[in-house]
Amino acid sequence: MAELSFVITMSVVTLFWALIGGIVPLFIPKGPNRGVIVTMLVLTSVCCYLFWLIAILAQLNPLLGPSLSTDAIWYLKYHWP
């Protein structure tokens, strides 16, 4: 179950940024600014995807868990699923 949600997340986000970086640039109309806009789109998608990827991979296999105060634990026990 956890695996499935991870796979879904991974594929959705990868597809999203691949769309922005790979497909949308094909539709930018020809003009003096086409080159700049395409560069911007590709760089944005690469940077943002990489940043998200690092964040999720760092948490994939945690080596240590969060250390919570007992008040927080008491609250979370009843209020979080």
Residues that bind another protein (CB under 8 A): 2-3, 5-6, 9, 13, 32-36, 38-40, 43-44, 47-48, 50-52, 54-70, 72-74, 76-77, 80-81
Whether the CB-CB separation of 15 and 25 falls below 8 Å is answered with no
The answer to whether 45 and 16 have CB atoms below 8 angstroms apart is no
**Reduced to 3 states, what is the DSSP secondary structure of residue 6?**
helix
Closest contact distance (angstroms) between CB of 23 and another protein is 18
CB of 21 to another protein, least distance (A): 11
Which residue, 23 or 68, has its beta carbon nearer to another protein? 68
* Residue 65 DSSP symbol: -
